[in-house]
Amino acid sequence: MKKYRHFIGPVSVTIILVAVAIMMASASCKSRQKLAISPEKIREVFATPFTPVSLNGNMIVADQESLPWMEIEPDSMRMVGFTGCNRFFGSARVSGDSLFTDHLGATKMASKNMENEQILLTFFSNQEMAWSFNDGQLQLVAGNDTLFLKRHTNIE
């Protein structure tokens, strides 16, 4: 009967160490999990309308008669708003610190100042945004764009 000797050489040790390192790295680098957010928190943050204040540090200027706003209806998760000229609407979903918008539509009335409309509709169009809420101000970040909004209570 032959005796087998098990030999673990430097190559075998290296392979084992690399495999262990890969397993440990993959376990610690899991994709960021979306924390559950309660319906009460969604209602607390999003049910009150917000007025856009600035996009990428540039102020969004509007007259009181054409002040844009947006809100998310927490029960139906519908996003609704006003661009300063037209109303817009779409679906929304909140998951952890992400806000997803989809199926954005708007009325199509002509207006003398369509700049805010283009900015807002482009920003809210069908995308994922990171959100945070502090001191009555909502911050939405989509790609390289950051939109700041403040609480707004005077809706027509």
- DSSP secondary structure of the chain: -PPP-----HHHHHHHHHHHHHHHHHHHTPPPPPPP--HHHHHHHHSS-EEEEEETTEE----GGG--EEEEETTTTEEEEE-SSSEEEEEEEEETTEEEEEEEEE-----S--HHHHHHHHHHSS-EEEEEEETTEEEEEETTEEEEEEE-----
**Burial label, 81 (beta-carbon count in 10 A; 0-12, 13-18, 19+):** buried
Q: Residue 34 above 80 pLDDT? A: no
Residues 129, 130, 132, 137, CA torsion sign:
negative
pLDDT computed for residue 32 by the predictor: 42
pLDDT classification of 66: cutoffs 50, 70, 90: confident
- Which comes out higher in pLDDT, residue 70 or 31? 70
Q: Residue 156 above 70 pLDDT? A: no
Q: Residue 90 above 50 pLDDT? A: yes
pLDDT computed for residue 37 by the predictor: 77
Q: Domain spans of the chain?
A: 39-151
Which has the closest alpha carbon to 83: 109, 58, 57, 103? 109
Q: 10 Å Cβ neighbour count for 80?
A: 17
Average pLDDT of every residue of the chain:
81
| pTM for this prediction | 0.72
Does CATH place domain 39-151 in 2.40.128.270?
Answer: yes
Distance of CA 11 to the CA centre of its chain: 47
Mean of pLDDT values over 47-65: 89
pLDDT per residue as tens digits for the range 96-140: 899 999 999 999 998 877 888 888 999 998 789 999 999 889 999
Which tokens in the block code for residue 128?
Answer: 């994922």
pLDDT classification of 9: cutoffs 50, 70, 90: low
pLDDT classification of 65: cutoffs 50, 70, 90: confident
pLDDT computed for residue 28 by the predictor: 43
pLDDT computed for residue 138 by the predictor: 94
